[in-house]
Amino acid sequence: MIGYFTVKKCSRYNFDKKSKLIELRFDILTLKVDKISKYFKIYVILAKKISMSKKSNNILFVFAIVLISSCVSKKDIVYFQNDAIDQSKVSNSYKTIIKPDDVLQITITALDTEAVRPFNLAAVNYATTSNTATGTPQLQTYLVDTKGEIDFPVLGKLKIGGLTRDELIAFLKHKLAPDYILNPNINVRITNYKVTVLGAVRNPGSYTIPNERITILEALGLAGDLNISALRNNILVQREENGKKTQYRVDLLSKNIFTSPVYYLQQNDVVYVEQNYASIQSASSNSNTSLIISVTSLLIGIITLIIR
């Protein structure tokens, strides 16, 4: 008789401040593991050899196998901890800055419809796959080039990169009034305003933002929120500023997120959520769990035969 196996799950754990270890308590033993292991379930496989001989005592073989995440501390997943949020300090830096590769829709209106006609791009009917025009005409757009310029009707090349939408409207009004148009009304939209969310979220991908204003929290909400295994205190936001990639780190566990320069996202921002280290290790160990259990069973059998 080789024996039998039972599996027991860790249900109690304490943090030993002196040794900096997590203390896991089972019915028959106590294990101490590194602090990072608090993200794991700990299963203990017990192999017990019964009455191997008259002189031998029962021999207990204990094998600990780290499997999947559990035992997660509340402080590691609850957003905006500590003090209450002071709304007066919430970042208001949500002005949209026009950048290269932005696609703009600029519409100019006025009482004198003939005066504004040369400054508006003609609406077109785009052909479908069957070479027939669509029923709803679509306004043409302006692509901001690498120099931050657009080619505007009548006015020619205009340097608009780095301006906010309000600044662009004021700039165009200055160019048009009163020489070309009296009291023009100008509307500007970025038609390709999108943000990308990657990593440990439920629905990673790129999301188009029609109102051109979104917070990092709203973006994560669009992506289905973070997975339980996500690292919440070190989220990466990559942004292009003045032609260079800039990286910011955000801690969702802290109220300081509301004063972060990336609390409001800008077009083409990329948000990346990392997996916690424990989950990465768990993914690696889980792939080998069956092999480990098989080898463990084999070793128990060999040891049993030797003891006989």
Asked whether residue 37 carries a pLDDT value surpassing 50, the answer given is no
Position 21 confidence tier, pLDDT thresholds 50, 70, 90 = low
CA 246 to CA 140: how far, in whole Å? 32
R_g over Cα of the chain:
31
Omega within 30 of 0 (cis) for the link into 153: no
Question: Buried (b) or exposed (e) across 64-102, using 16+ Cβ within 10 A?
Answer: ebbbbbbbbeeeeeeebeeeeeeeeeeeeeeebebbeeb
What is the reported pLDDT for 276? 82
Residue 297 has a pLDDT of 72
Higher per-residue confidence, 266 vs 242: 266
Under CATH, to which class is 103-190 assigned? alpha beta
Of 182 and 23, more confident: 182
Give domain limits for the chain: 1-71, 77-91+193-277, 103-190
pLDDT attached to residue 122 = 83
Q: What pLDDT does 136 receive?
A: 62
How confident is the model at residue 68, as a pLDDT? 41
The pLDDT value given to residue 154? 95
Report in angstroms the alpha-carbon separations of 161 from 192, 223, 246.
15, 30, 18
pLDDT of residue 300: 74
pLDDT at 151 > cutoff 50: yes
Q: Which two tokens stand for residue 2?
A: 């080789």
Per-residue pLDDT at 149 exceeds 70: yes
Q: How confident is the model at residue 190 (pLDDT cuts 50, 70, 90)?
A: very high
State the average pLDDT over residues 90-103.
Answer: 83
The pLDDT, as a whole number, for residue 302 is 74
pTM (predicted TM-score): 0.64
* Structure confidence by residue, pLDDT tens digits, 109-120: 999 999 999 999
CB distance 38 to 71 below 8 Å? yes
CA 243/CA 215 separation, integer angstroms: 22
CATH 3.10.560.10, domain 77-91+193-277, yes or no:
yes
Question: Degrees (nearest 5) of the Cα angle 254, 256, 261?
Answer: 135
Q: Do domains 77-91+193-277 and 103-190 have the same CATH topology?
A: no
Q: Which residue has the higher pLDDT, 122 or 100?
A: 100
